[in-house]
Every structure is written in structure tokens, then in C-alpha cells.
Amino acid sequence: MPLMRPSHAVICVATLVLGFARPTPAPAPGPVSGRLTVMERNNKTASDVGTAVVWLEAAGARSSAPRTFDVTAEGKDFRPRVLVVPVGSTVRFPNNDPFNHNVFSLSDEGAFDLGLYGRGETKLTKFTTPGLIRVYCNVHANMAAFVLVLGSVYFTQPGGDGSFTIPAVPAGKYVLHAWHERAADMKRDVEVTAQGLTNLDLQLDARGFKFVQHLNKFGQPYSRGGARY
């Protein structure tokens, strides 16, 4: 059997050393998941838990790129009723009804007034500050929508059974938030491991909710006889 030349031996040893020196790939970030329940009066669970929002907040956390979204006025209603958008996003408000609407908000994080506009028209506004924007129509007192502006990419809305999953969350310390329009907001400090954080059991309390009619864009009660349609 022919002997291996010394130069070949050095190359083989170097190859073996380099092979063992390869770093182990870091594990993929794990999910944050669980189930959210919204409790109503008489300890009943809310059927519209899917309109809640669950998100994670952390110092220096990245946000999704701004985008353009639609909230449509149709059938004297806003669709969707709840919308989550990244900071800097634009929301358009198309009017699909055969009469005028005046979409507005008095929320400190993003007050706006789009004025009166008719069927087939669309007006828009941009949201640059994180927070909850309560959207109404100055013509129809029953119309309401909620735009949640977030500076975090880690958010989701539960399924109809309250289950939720925020995928691929890097390990670290976060503040976990849960919101529903009829409940007091909930926040909790959590620590996500390399495997994620699962089997969370979250509950929002809407048992003390009482409907209060919002004011019009002038800060006054709606006129009962003022609406023409």
C-alpha cells in the first residue's frame, strides 16, 4: 500500500479540524401561544373574542414596515371593526354607502376629521404614534371602529375559540398586552425562552362594561333628529 505524502496528510488534518470547528446553528425562535378568554356578565364568555388583540412590547423591538389598509364604511358600519397597523401606516376609509359619511377621531394619538364625503369616495389619514384610535362617524352615532397602532411586529388576533399564536419570537423579556373593546387592558411581564412561551392562559374582564354613547366631533351629544339617513 503506497504511503501518503506528507503534504496530503497536512491537508486532511486541516480539513478535519475545520469540520469540527463549524459553529452549531442557533435554534429558530419559538412561538408565544395560549388561549384568551373575555368574561362577560354572569360569567359568560364573549363570543367575539376574535376581535381582541394580543401583542408583545420590548425596548428596541422592531416594527413592521408601514403599509396601506382599508376600513370601509358600508351598511352604516365600519368593516373591519378592529384593525391592527404598524406605526407610520396609512388607513383609507372608502364610502360604499349611498349616502354621506364624516369619519373622525378625537383620540390623542391620532385625531383627524375627514369631513363629509359621498358614495364611491375615499379619504385617508396616516398614523405616526402608537396607541388606540377610536374612529366614529359624525353623521351616524352607531358607527364605531378601533385602529390599534403598534410599534411591534409581534402581534396577533385570537381565533374564534380564543387560541392565539405569535410565531418566531426571539428569546428575551417582554411586556405582554391583551386588549378588547369592552374590557380593561391587560399587561404582564413575561420572559420568552429559546423554545418560546406556550400554554398561556389569559383573561380579560368585561363584566363591568356599560355602553356610553360617544360624542360627535365637536365634543357634543348627537342630535336625535339630525340624521337624514
Fold match flag (26-61+158-215 vs 63-151): yes
Mean pLDDT confidence for 64-77? 97
Q: What is the pTM (predicted TM-score) of this model?
A: 0.86
Q: What is the pLDDT of residue 26?
A: 62
The CATH homologous superfamily to which domain 63-151 belongs is Cupredoxins -  blue copper proteins (2.60.40.420)
Q: How confident is the model at residue 227 (pLDDT cuts 50, 70, 90)?
A: low
Q: What is the pLDDT of residue 97?
A: 98
Mean pLDDT confidence for 46-63? 92
Q: According to the 3-state scheme, what is the secondary structure of the chain?
A: CCCCCHHHHHHHHHHHHHHHCCCCCCCCCEEEEEEEEEECHHHCECCCHHHCEEEEECCCCCCCCCCEEECEECCCCEECCEEEEECCCEEEEEECCCCCEEEEECCCCCCEEEEEECCCCEEEEECCCCEEEEEEECCCCCCEEEEEEECCCCEECCCCCCEEEEEEECCEEEEEEEECCCCCCEEEEEEEECCEEEEEEEEEECCCCCCCCCCCCCCCCCCCCCCCC
For the chain, the domains span 26-61+158-215, 63-151
Domain 26-61+158-215 part of CATH 2.60.40.1120: yes
- pLDDT, tens digit, 9 for 90 and up, residues 105-160: 999 999 999 999 999 999 999 999 999 999 999 999 999 999 999 999 999 999 99
